[in-house]
Structure 1
Amino acid sequence: MLNLRFISPYKVNKSPLIMRFGDDTGPVDPTLPFLQANIGIEVGSNWFNEQLLSNTDLLQWQTDSVKNEFITAFKQPEIINEQSTIDWHQAALVAANNAIKWGNAGYVINVIQMPYIITMAIEYNEKDFNWLTQLDAEQTELKAHWHSSEALTTSRDQHWHVKPLLESNELVIHYGETDKQYICYWRNHPFKGYVNLEFSEPAQMHNGRLVLRFNNPDKVCYWGLPGGLVRGDDDVPTIDRKIPIEPQIRNTYIMQPTIDCVRVSDDLKILISSVSYSISRGQFSATCNIKFCSRIDFDRALGQELKISINGYDFYVICEQPSTSNSFANASYSASCRSRFALLSAPYARATNYANPTAKTLAGIMSDILINTGWSLDNQMIDYAIPTGAFSYTNLTPAAALLSVAKSVGAMLDIDNANKTVSIVPLWPVMPWDTESAICDVILNDSIILEHNTSQTINQEHNAVFVRGEQQGVACKIKRAGTLGDKFASDVVDSLITDNQAARQRGTCELANSGNKQQATMRTKIKADLPPIRPGMLVGVTYSNSTYKATCDSLTINASINAQGAITVSQTIKVISNV
């Protein structure tokens, strides 16, 4: 029992308070406490322990090209929490919990593409097949080996086989004249494949991906005609897309010619007594001469756009230059006309200057010339690149500029006045030395040839020519195949010769113009099965004892009505061939 006795009053700021223990005999020092042998000590250590998340393996197979890609992405989650309890009485590790999560954030791609082989540039639209691959997982084996807190080995075996399912709704069939060649196609695997993935260490955080590429399936090839997946009969002839226009040979031809002329603006009928329409390869518009039946028709047509129909074929002209002739009791009214494309020339269109401010192609420059004119371009020449500032012209109308560009690459203008389309075609669609093996556009026989006249011109023959550009051009030697290339023509220099294709096209045209030529002038009819023969067409002629092929150089159509009302319609063509 501890007794506290206060023997004197409390005084402020008096210290310390002395406590003495003992009996009445005097103070005694307190006894020290007795220490036990072992004192318990607890230590709590909180460690981050990663949280076990769900494992997700996503495999998606899809085919899109002839290769197989296997992409596997690994992702390791952040460590969230780990608790560890340590007893100081024991030196050994009692418990350790570890959780490692493997995640597949990517996907597997199996892409197969089966393009069709196209040997003719009929269309440039190839069929795209969409394939859906159904995976039939026959066996899935997962092996996970754990030792202490470190994942030593994790392996996964995946066995599969591919079942393609066609899901295509669109099919484009290419047809035309083709040659035999080796046809190869891919077949499905005749055996089942497998993928063995082994993971020997924990994944690390990274943004890359694992790409697995597989060998191509078996390829089967055979010699035959190209086609689709199903092999056709090799002895079946291909479809010939180019069919010549050949009028039937008859003993008697019954003709019912017609001539009609209307004003395009309001379809007002214009009476005419005769018309002559001419076009050649070197012109950008046709020329026409019309004779009217009266002064009223003459006044109605002057300065207007007319549509002339001859035996059902339409021709669009602009009535430009009037002409009158008066004599005793007789007056005639006529006018000179040009085709509709003349609206892009003087005096209807102003001359302008042009220089390509950026790099363009040949078709791009010609499209710039026709911009905001209402006419569309159909380029049938080989297109090529033209550097910045390589081409320019000064004081030219759109029609003259387009003709100049066409002549620079050995081409001509084929005008469709009805649809307002300008086609850029080669001046010689078939080379004069290759006509024997070419298919004709029109075949004429002596039963429909009313007149046939021939003449020859003597020119120096060339088999090689140097074609050069200017500051940004190329220089090429163009040689006719199968010759020595030792007879040179005059060098050709043009600013548009900026590519080998440009030089080849222009040089080929120059060589085709050389050599001795035979010119034949023929007059024939215009019928339902014999339309007007346009310049550039390859014409096969059978007359008397001669048979030859020649290129049409010019066309003239004559139609007239006599005093008795009889209508006469004919066309006269001039064709050129090598001799």
Structure 2
Amino acid sequence: MISVSIAGGWGRAASADRAASAIPWDALRQADRRAAARWRIAGVADRRATVVPWARVPALDVLQAGRWGVAGMLDAQAIAQPWNRVPAKDLAVASGWDHTMQPRDLRLRLIYNPKPARKDLAIAAGHRRVNEYGPRFNAETALQDSLYVPGTGALVFEFGGRPYFPSTSPEVFFDFRYVPATPAIQPTDMRRTRVRWQSARRLNLGRTLPWGRARQVDGVLTDLPYVDYPGPVKPLPEPPPDPTILDTYMIANTVNLVALPSRTPIAAKNIRIGLDADSFSWSFSADIFTRAALELVQPDAEGAGELELDINGWTWVVLVERYSRKQQFPAEAYTITGATRGQLLAAPYAPLRSGLNAAQINAAQAAEAELLNTGFTLAWQATDWTFPAGALSYQSQTAMQVIAKLAETIGGVVLPARDSDHLDIVPRYPLPPWQWNDVDAPITRVIPPAMMTDLGGEWTPQPAWNACYTSGTSVGCSMLVRRAGTAGDNPTPDVFDDWLTDQPANQARGTHELSKGGNIEIVSVTIPLFPFADDHGVGLILPAHLYRVPEESGPWVGLCLGVDISAEGTGAVRVSQQIRLERHH
């Protein structure tokens, strides 16, 4: 039989109860053992004594004890605090473990885009989906569907046949402002380009040329496939048009020489103008007849006189630097000489300067810096390289001297413009001579033998160099440039230059030195100067350009070293240009 009246409530005793009882914890346990029977199955004798069937509780027991699990108010107050209430002394250190969160609070976990906390408002934006498949939004046509689009002027209304003019402080006014809704972001490449995820080579097959098999340049080919080249692709130059071959060429030469800025015509004869690859300005000379014409072009307080020369549509602007008189009874003649405006960057016009780069700079930037506040422009079309800080230094040099020295460092030349303040920096050899017959050689013009009036040649052979050692001096690098496919056993004299400070410069200079070797012939050719607008002729020949000559024995390519244009005879009616071509056999 189990006694219920001696069992205590489940909880923590208060401090006052512990002090009043003063009963040790183990002693209380022993007292409970004496008062209660052990937990076991009751014997038969116990069942006869109680005469109470098993699982039936007498009515007296029901009235004297509470049911299991529900404590009375008196017992709860006498023995312990409620189960889910924490005493006041514990509130400052910890919170109770309870179920204060209500079911309605669980909805916050189901929101896809909850409002971020205040600390995140300044650093992050909400995550929303873009308008991927909606109609394309066009800001220019967004208001075309509206019935009325107000302009920038005042609005005029008709009320009762009279125009409406709002007062300065009306009680009622109209506001037609329209604020369009901000459209959602739309992907621009989803529906128009439709680019598939695949190799880019397939997309460019229709716009590029096949590479073909590689040309053997050094060693034995390994037959390895070429990888895709991710860099820029230089397109093949278009072949020059073939000039029209005729039995007779009739050219109405026009030669005009005027003084600037008045544009007064000047009668002249024996006009010559020319340019070679080592010059930075066109040279000019002419014979004039009168003293009055000389006074128009001779130097004065404002500087050297300027002339404009027009030969068959090709125009030059020259400075008259010198003149001389030749008197012979009964007439006198004056000879004037000069150069184009590129001479203004050299002595005696340009001042001498010294410079040292304080920061890293490349050659093109250094050349452009020399032209500041001069009105000249420059196009660097040669190899560019870098100067470390303190490597680019010079003393008492003009602007043209510095630019020409930069071009000479990599084997380049300065090509001046004919009638403007512009300079082009180009390599003397656009390609090495052993590559002039390649398909991608940049041929400028075709000079047919049928147009040649004079032809001559001079044999100037040089050693067949195949290697060149280039190096800087105090700053820079050293490099052995060897012609591909050769042993490099016949080197040129070593090249040392203060401004060879980077590998591209060393390689360009070494290639230039190797290009000067071999069996060379200087071919002199005289051809007419066709008009500027004539597309069927050869045109003006310029230095540092490649030209093809289709002779009967076989076509060959030559590099122009210089050109001289002459207009002779009465009224300068006989015009021709004599060119010098460097041919490598």
State the TM bucket, normalised to the shorter chain: 0.5 to 0.7
The whole-number CA distance in structure 2 between the counterparts of 1:465 and 1:486 is: 10
1:402 aligns to what?
403
Conserved in 1, the CA contact under 8 Å of 2:270 and 2:572? no
Q: How does 1:146-225 map to 2 (within 5 A)?
A: 165-166=188-189, 187=196, 218-220=197-199
The whole-number CA distance in structure 1 between the counterparts of 2:436 and 2:289 is: 45
1:264 aligns to what?
260
Q: How far did 1:546 drift?
A: 4.9
SS, match of residue 447 in structure 2: strand
Change (3 A) 1:94 1:297: closer
Residue identity in the other structure for 1:412: V
The answer to whether residue 584 in structure 2 is matched with residue 578 in structure 1 is yes
Residue identity in the other structure for 1:485: G
Change (3 A) 1:492 1:45: farther
Correspondent of 1:242 among 231, 238, 242:
238
The whole-number CA distance in structure 2 between the counterparts of 1:270 and 1:166 is: 65
The whole-number CA distance in structure 2 between the counterparts of 1:494 and 1:367 is: 21
For residues 6-29 of structure 1, the C-alpha deviation after alignment (integer angstroms, 9 at most, x for no partner) is xxxxxxxxxxxxxxxxxxxxxxxx
The whole-number CA distance in structure 2 between the counterparts of 1:440 and 1:109 is: 59
Residue identity in the other structure for 2:575: V
Conserved in 2, the CA contact under 8 Å of 1:561 and 1:567? yes
SS, match of residue 249 in structure 1: coil
For residues 515-547 of structure 1, the C-alpha deviation after alignment (integer angstroms, 9 at most, x for no partner) is 221010000001133221000111111346453
Larger radius of gyration: 2
SS, match of residue 501 in structure 1: helix
Residue identity in the other structure for 2:306: E
For residues 212-237 of structure 1, the C-alpha deviation after alignment (integer angstroms, 9 at most, x for no partner) is xxxxxx42566685457xx99999xx
Q: Which runs of 5+ in 2 are unaligned?
A: 1-73, 89-94, 117-123, 135-185, 213-233, 300-304
SS, match of residue 400 in structure 1: helix
Change (3 A) 1:439 1:341: closer
Change (3 A) 1:531 1:168: farther
Q: How far did 1:263 drift?
A: 2.2
SS, match of residue 436 in structure 1: coil
Correspondent of 1:302 among 298, 314, 324:
298
Conserved in 1, the CA contact under 8 Å of 2:237 and 2:442? no
SS, match of residue 219 in structure 1: coil
Conserved in 2, the CA contact under 8 Å of 1:186 and 1:220? no
Greater RCO, 1 or 2 (C-alpha within 8 Å, sep 6+): 2
2:475 aligns to what?
472
The answer to whether residue 540 in structure 2 is matched with residue 532 in structure 1 is yes
The whole-number CA distance in structure 2 between the counterparts of 1:234 and 1:458 is: 36
2:230 aligns to what?
none
Change (3 A) 1:490 1:133: farther
2:140 aligns to what?
none
Change (3 A) 1:383 1:560: same
Conserved in 1, the CA contact under 8 Å of 2:317 and 2:420? no
Percent identity between the two aligned chains: 23
Q: How far did 1:491 drift?
A: 0.9
Conserved in 2, the CA contact under 8 Å of 1:341 and 1:417? no
Q: How far did 1:380 drift?
A: 0.9
SS, match of residue 541 in structure 1: strand
SS, match of residue 255 in structure 1: coil
* Structure holding more strand per residue: 1
Q: How far did 1:418 drift?
A: 2.5
SS, match of residue 404 in structure 1: helix
* Structure holding more helix per residue: 2
Conserved in 2, the CA contact under 8 Å of 1:538 and 1:550? yes
The answer to whether residue 557 in structure 2 is matched with residue 549 in structure 1 is yes
The whole-number CA distance in structure 2 between the counterparts of 1:382 and 1:402 is: 14
Residue identity in the other structure for 1:567: V
The whole-number CA distance in structure 2 between the counterparts of 1:330 and 1:575 is: 40
SS, match of residue 487 in structure 1: coil
Correspondent of 1:561 among 563, 569, 579:
569
The answer to whether residue 256 in structure 2 is matched with residue 277 in structure 1 is no
Q: How far did 1:256 drift?
A: 0.2
The answer to whether residue 506 in structure 2 is matched with residue 503 in structure 1 is yes
Q: Which runs of 5+ in 1 are unaligned?
A: 1-35, 47-83, 87-91, 111-131, 137-162, 172-184, 188-217
TM-score, with structure 2 as normaliser: 0.63
SS, match of residue 369 in structure 2: helix
2:429 aligns to what?
428
Change (3 A) 1:168 1:245: farther
SS, match of residue 515 in structure 2: helix
Change (3 A) 1:350 1:361: same
Q: How does 1:64-463 map to 2 (within 5 A)?
A: 93=98, 95-97=100-102, 105=124, 134=132, 165-166=188-189, 187=196, 218-220=197-199, 226=205, 241-303=237-299, 304-437=305-438, 438-463=441-466
SS, match of residue 558 in structure 2: strand
Residue identity in the other structure for 1:300: L
SS, match of residue 485 in structure 1: coil
The whole-number CA distance in structure 2 between the counterparts of 1:423 and 1:109 is: 55
Conserved in 1, the CA contact under 8 Å of 2:560 and 2:579? yes
For residues 316-344 of structure 1, the C-alpha deviation after alignment (integer angstroms, 9 at most, x for no partner) is 21111111111222311011111110011
The whole-number CA distance in structure 2 between the counterparts of 1:224 and 1:485 is: 43
Residue identity in the other structure for 1:535: P
Residue identity in the other structure for 2:449: D
The whole-number CA distance in structure 2 between the counterparts of 1:243 and 1:45 is: 100
Change (3 A) 1:475 1:313: same
For residues 457-516 of structure 1, the C-alpha deviation after alignment (integer angstroms, 9 at most, x for no partner) is 122221101110122200001111121111111111112211110101111111111222
Residue identity in the other structure for 1:292: I
SS, match of residue 433 in structure 1: helix
Residue identity in the other structure for 1:219: Q
SS, match of residue 400 in structure 2: helix
For residues 431-466 of structure 1, the C-alpha deviation after alignment (integer angstroms, 9 at most, x for no partner) is 211111125211111221100101111222211011
SS, match of residue 364 in structure 1: helix
Q: How far did 1:419 drift?
A: 3.3
Conserved in 2, the CA contact under 8 Å of 1:224 and 1:234? no
Aligned pair count reads 406
Change (3 A) 1:477 1:232: closer
Task: Judge which range, 511-520 or 99-108, deviates more.
Answer: 99-108
For residues 236-275 of structure 1, the C-alpha deviation after alignment (integer angstroms, 9 at most, x for no partner) is xx99653415321011111100111122323222222221
Q: How far did 1:417 drift?
A: 3.7
